[in-house]
Every structure is written in structure tokens, then in C-alpha cells.
Structure 1
Amino acid sequence: MATVFADAPDAATPEIAAVAGSVAGNVAAPGPTPAMAEPKKPNPAVTKTVAFAKSLIAPMLGILAFLAIWGALAPQVDTSLGALPGPVEVAAQGFSLFDEWSAAKDAEAQFYTDQDARNAVQVAAGNPAGVQNFDYAGTPTFIDQIFTSLKTVALGFGLATLVAVPIGLFAGLSPTFNAAINPLIQIMKPVSPLAWLPIVTMVISAMITSADPMLPKAFVISALVVMLCSLWPTLINTAIGAASIDKDLLNVGRVLKLGWFAKLTRLVLPSSLPYIFTGMRLSLGVGWMVLIAAEMLAQNPGLGKFVWDEFQNGSSQSLARIMFAVVVIGFIGFGLDRLMMSLQALVSKNRTI
């Protein structure tokens, strides 16, 4: 069979060569393309500011809604002291209480100024025996009561921590000891401060018989009631933290032949810190609530006594003052909780195992 091959032309026609050259030029040698613009990065400070603002919007809206509902419904509620105060009336009494504190401070300063002047006259007259120094005995103001309550809860919380943490660590490390004290904890934990108060009052009154004790008797009574009611969360959480320590760490301690004190301070205590601080936060909140009830019932100095005195006063301003005291008590409790959270974060950041 014959096969026919066509002879390739030696040269393309001028038209085809022109088209081929044009295509080759467009494909093989493209021109420079403009560079793509990189997206602009947001400013970190602006991003954080926007995120912080957004995090405040919802809480602020909630607070404003609460104040609006409170202001609208308060005039509709009639009490024996008149209509329920709204936010404006309560805020006005807050300013009034601050003015009373300022006036009391001025009176105290004037008292000591006059006393120093009288003593200076006696010294100038050559009669040093006539010099007399007295303490100012004015009525405690609302702000004075706040500081009294804070000092009381600090003492009670400190005593509770000193008692609860060692017992909790021992209970967490010793199942036998934990089994022995667990029934007592479960029985004592739900006891109301109102039940502890008369017992503590009688015991402290029998122990403190001095006419001028180092600490006022009422102050000690309130602090001990706070301690007895607030130590249980710290004790329980500390025991859980000590019991949940990684067994490998304890094995390392045995290998290194660490003593009990070194094992406690270098292994057990650092591992238990998150649990301990969680318990302390709970204990501080319980202690603050217990303190107000104890002061109110026992008529010990503090915010609880202020609330009870205003309730007994029965004036037209008493209800607004009580409500302002409630708001302050809530803010102080919130602040104490934030303080414990910050302390926990600081200690946890610096702890090493």
C-alpha cells in the first residue's frame, strides 16, 4: 500500500507568521503586573478598646434597665414609712451620709484643737498636772461603721484561714484523719450564725473581764462568729486540693527523700493553691454575709448595727438610708471578691512546683 506524505512547506505564509508571532509575544513575554496591596493590620490598642467597650455595653444596659424599673415601680409601693424610695432618693441619702461624716470629722478635729489649746494654757501657767487628754467620743458615722465592719471581717477571715488551711492539708494527706473529721464538718458547716452568736457571747464575756481590754468585747464576738461560719469552705477546698495532688510528685519526693516539711512546702502546698484560694474566696463571701447578721442581732458596731438602728429610728429618711447601706454592702462584697481573685492570680502566676 502506498502511503502519501505531504511535503512540509519551507516557510509559512506571511499572514500565518504574523499571527503566530503576535500570540507568542502575548504568551511568552507578559508585561509586569502590579503588586497586590497587603491588608492593613488593625491597631492593637484600638482593638482592645473596642472589645472593652463591647464588654461594658451589656452590663451597663442591665444596670440602667434595673434602675429604670426600680424608679418606675418604687412610688407604687407604700410602706409604714411612706413610699419606697427610688434611685434618686437613695443616692441623695448617700450624699447626706457623706456630709454627716465630713461634719463629724470637722467636729473631731475641733475637739482635739481645743484640747491642745487648753493643755498649752495649763503648761504655760506652770500647772502640768492640769493637762488632760481625752479621746473623742462622738457617735460613729456611716463611713466609720464601714471601716469597723471591714476590720471585723478581716480578723474573722484571718483566723478562719489560719485554722482551716492546716487542718485541710492534713485531712487531704491523711485519709484516716479526713474520715475522722468529715462527720464533724458536715454537722457544723450548716449551723447559722444566729445559733453561734449567743454561745460565743457568753464564752467571750466570761473570758474578757477587764474594764479596758486590748480589743473591744463586741469586736471579738463578731470576729469569732465570722470565723466559725466562714472556715468550712476553705477547709473543704484545701483538703480536696491536697488529696488531688499528682502522685508522681509524691513519688519524686520519696526518691529525693524530702522531709515532711519540705514535701508540704515544695509539693503539696503549691499544688493546692488554686483550691485554697477558691475556698478563701467562698469563705470571705460567707464571712461578709455572716458579719452583717451578727452585728444586727448583737448590736455590735458596724454596718449591721447601722441598718438596725435606722430601722428602729423610723424616720422618713430611714428606708432610703437602709437601701443605700444595702447597695454599699453589695459593692463591698463584690470588691472583696475581686480582691481575692487578683491575689489568687498573682500567687498562681508566681508559684513554682
Structure 2
Amino acid sequence: MTTITTLFSKINDSQLGSDRVKSMASELARIIVFPLLGVLVFLLLWSVAAQNINTSLGKFPGPAAVVEQFGSLYDEHVREREKADAFYERQEKRNAARVAKDPDYVSKVRDYTGKETFLDQIVTSLVTVISGFLLAAIIAIPLGIAVGLSRPLNSAVNPIVQIFKPVSPLAWLPLVTMVVSAVYDTPDPAVPKSFLNSMITVTLCCLWPMVINTSVGVASIDSDLVNVSKVLRLPPLTHVRKIVLPASIPMIFTGMRLSFGVAWMVLIAAEMLAQNPGLGKFVWDEFQNGSSDSLSRIMAAVLVIGFIGFLLDRGMLQIQRYVSWDKASADR
């Protein structure tokens, strides 16, 4: 009897082990194999299509041409940094020589005015979109909480949100440019006007999704939680900090992720339209350049724009997982 029981136990253990292996294999396929197959199929279709598309600038660039341009863009960045270093080195030697001749001479350090490289413009776009997004969050989240907690305030703000929500952020760009030029009128600006124009445009496009989702999340808090707060007689700020924020975090982050994605798209378009420094300007300049490498350089920029957008969304998701008590809400 003991032998039969042991045999069945081994069979059950082997079945459990087999099921575990199958589950791990299925998860591995979902995470690695299927995405890799999708990428490979995309690259194959891209290569085939590129061979059959002729433009005024030559054949449409395939994956190999785009990879080659990534190397060229990096080499350009390195050469530009070497020029900048040489410029500052010459300037330092010149100032040292002047000071040696005249100890009272006050040396001046001029900034290097060479062109921005592809990597420089990536950094410019990232700084702009993150600055505009954070400014929008500082405004939209407290406003959304207030609107969600107060029905009269909701009634007052809702018409404004519904009117301006459908307006394309690019429609604001000319107005923003005019206002910034009129208000920020200084001969030596600490922050470039082009940066402010793009940042404020990003802020305007981020406001509405965050306000709407935050207010909906706050308004839909479980009534039991609200009753607990009333029973404990929590002060308003404590009620918001202990009850409202934890319960509405999933909806708040949904609005933030939507805003971030839209902000990145709007920023690229705004940089193209207004010729402000950044990836959008890089794409437009290459289009206007019309060289034989322009298409492959534009395609390289398109891939970088898409990859950065993906990373920004994943970054917001990781922050949501860190601050949210409901980890399942951050698995999508």
C-alpha cells in the first residue's frame, strides 16, 4: 500500500513539474519569442517594401541603411563635441595669455555656437516634454481633486474643460508664441523663448486628460471609504492624503500616461511647425535638405521618437507600480 501511494505521489509530482515547465515555456514565448517574431516579420516586410518604393531622393531606406545612419549620426556628435572642446581650449589659452600680459583683464568665456547634433536634439526634446508635463501635473492634479470633491466646482469647471478639450494643442502654438514674445521680453533671457513656447504648448495638451481622469477617479471613490473618513472626522487635507489620493491613483496615472503620450506627439509636431530646437526640427531640416541620406536619417529619427515614447510610457507605469497600493491596476 505504501509503495502504491509513493508511486502516485511521484506521478503527481512529475505532472506538477511538467505543468510548471509548460507554464514557464508559455510565459517565455509570450515575453520573448512572439515579440521577437513580430519584430522580424516587420523588418522583413520593411525590407521588401523599401526595395519597391522609389522617391525623388532615391529608394526608400531599408533597415540596413537606417542602422548605418545611426552610426553616422553618432560620429557627427563625437566630431561636434571635439570641435567644442577645441574651441574652449583655444579660448582658455587666449584668456590665460591676456591675463599674463594684463593682470587686471577680466576674461570672458563665450559659449560654443556650433550646430546641435542628433543626440543634443534628443536631450532638448526630452527636457522640454518632461518640463511641460510636470508643470501640467502640478496644475491639473490638484484641480482635478478639487473638482472631484466639489460638485459646484465641477459644474463651474466642466464647461471650460469641454470647450477646450477638443482644441488641437497646435492651435495654441501661435497664441503661445505671441504671448511669450510680449511678456518674456528681455535682452538676455535665462531660458530660450523657443523652449518656453514648446513647453507651454506641451502643458496645454497635458492638462485636460489629467484633470478629467483625476476628477473622475476622485468622484468614484468607494462610499465606504468616504464614510470611514467621516466617522474618523479626518481633516480635509488628511482626508485627501489618506483616502482620496490612494483610492484614485489608478485613474490619476491613467490620465498621466495618456497625457505623456499625447505630449510627446504634440511636441514633435510643434518643433516641426515652429522650428524650435528638438527632434521635430531635425526631421524637418532633413526633409528640407533633400540629400541622398535624408530619408534614412528621417527614418532613424522616427524610430527614436517611437522608442522614446515607449520608454516614457513604461517609465510612468513603473512609477504607478511603485506608488499604487493596487499593483494589479498597473499591469496594463
TM-score by length of 1: 0.85
Partner of 2:190: 214
Partner in structure 1 of residue 28 of structure 2? 53
Question: Is 1:189–2:182 an aligned residue pair?
Answer: no
Contact (CA 8 Å) 1:193, 1:293: kept in 2 or not?
Answer: no
Task: Tell me which amino acid in the other structure corresponds to 2:215.
Answer: A
Closer, same or farther: CA 104–32 of 1 in aligned 2, 3 Å: closer
Of the structure 1 ranges 30-39 and 203-212, higher mean CA displacement relative to structure 2 is found in 30-39
The verdict on how the C-alpha distance between 1:43 and 1:130 changes in structure 2, with shifts beyond 3 A counting, is: farther
Which letter maps to 2:163?
I
Aligned mate of 1:343, from 305, 319, 327: 319
Alignment partners' CA distance in 2, 1:145 and 1:216: 14
Matched, 1:141 2:124: no
> Compared with structure 1, are the counterparts of its residues 48 and 33 closer, same or farther at alpha carbon in structure 2 (3 Å cutoff)?
closer
2:310 aligned residue (331, 334, 340): 334
How far did residue 349 of structure 1 move? 4.0
Q: Quick check: 2:206–2:262 contact (8 Å CA) kept in 1?
A: yes
> The residue matched to 1:129 in structure 2 has which SS?
coil
Listed as ranges, the matches of 1:1-353 within 5 Å are 35-36=6-7, 38=10, 39=13, 42=17, 50-51=25-26, 53-55=28-30, 56-129=32-105, 131-349=107-325
What displacement does 1:172 show?
A: 0.9
Amino acid at match of 1:79: T
Asked if the contact 1:145/1:302 (under 8 Å) is kept, the reply is: yes
Residues of 2 paired with 1:207 and 1:331: CA distance? 36
Distance in 2, Cα, partners of 1:284 & 1:223: 13
Distance of 2:301 and 2:79 partners within structure 1: 19
Secondary structure (helix, strand or coil) at the match of 2:105 reads helix
Q: Which residue of 2 aligns with 1:18?
A: none
Q: Which moved more, 1:240-249 or 1:279-288?
A: 240-249
Q: Which moved more, 1:103-112 or 1:291-300?
A: 103-112
- Partner SS, residue 152 of structure 2: helix
Deviates more, 1:68-77 or 1:129-138: 129-138
Return the letter of the residue paired with 2:158.
Answer: N
CA distance in 2, matches of 1:31, 1:218: 82
Cα separation, 2, equivalents of 1:327 and 1:136: 29
Q: Deviations over 1:5-28 (max 9, x none)?
A: xxxxxxxxxxxxxxxxxxxxxxxx
| SS at structure 2 position matched to 1:316 | coil
2:330 aligned residue:
none
Offset, 1:128: 4.5
Contact 2:246 2:325 in 1 (8 A): no
Q: Deviations over 1:99-147 (max 9, x none)?
A: 1011111111122222222222233334451633111111000000000
Q: Give 1:203 deviation, angstroms.
A: 0.5
- C-alpha deviation, 1:194, in angstroms: 2.3
Q: In percent, how many aligned pairs have the same letter?
A: 52
Range with bigger deviation, 150-159 or 247-256: 247-256
Structure 2 residue identity aligned to 1:289: M
So what's the TM-score if we normalise by structure 2?
0.90
The aligned amino acid for 1:159 is L
3-state DSSP class of the match of 2:116?
coil
Q: Which one-letter code corresponds to 2:29 in the other structure?
A: K
Q: Does the 8 Å CA contact 1:296/1:308 hold for their aligned counterparts?
A: yes
Give a deviation string over 1:283-342, Cα, whole Å, max 9, x none: 000100010011100010000100111111111111111111001000000000000000
1:212-253 CA-partner distances (Å, limit 9, x unpaired): 112110100100001111211111110011001122222222
SS of 2:277's partner is coil
Contact 2:202 2:267 in 1 (8 A): yes
What are structure 1's unaligned runs of at least 5 residues? 1-29
**In the superposition, relative to structure 1, how do residues 236 and 31 fare at CA in structure 2: closer, same or farther (>3 Å)?**
closer
Return closer, same or farther for 1:32/1:114 CA change in 2, 3 Å cut-off: closer
Distance 2:232 2:143 in 1: 26
Greater Rg over alpha carbons, structure: 1
Give the total of aligned pairs: 322
**What's the secondary structure of 1:157's corresponding residue?**
helix
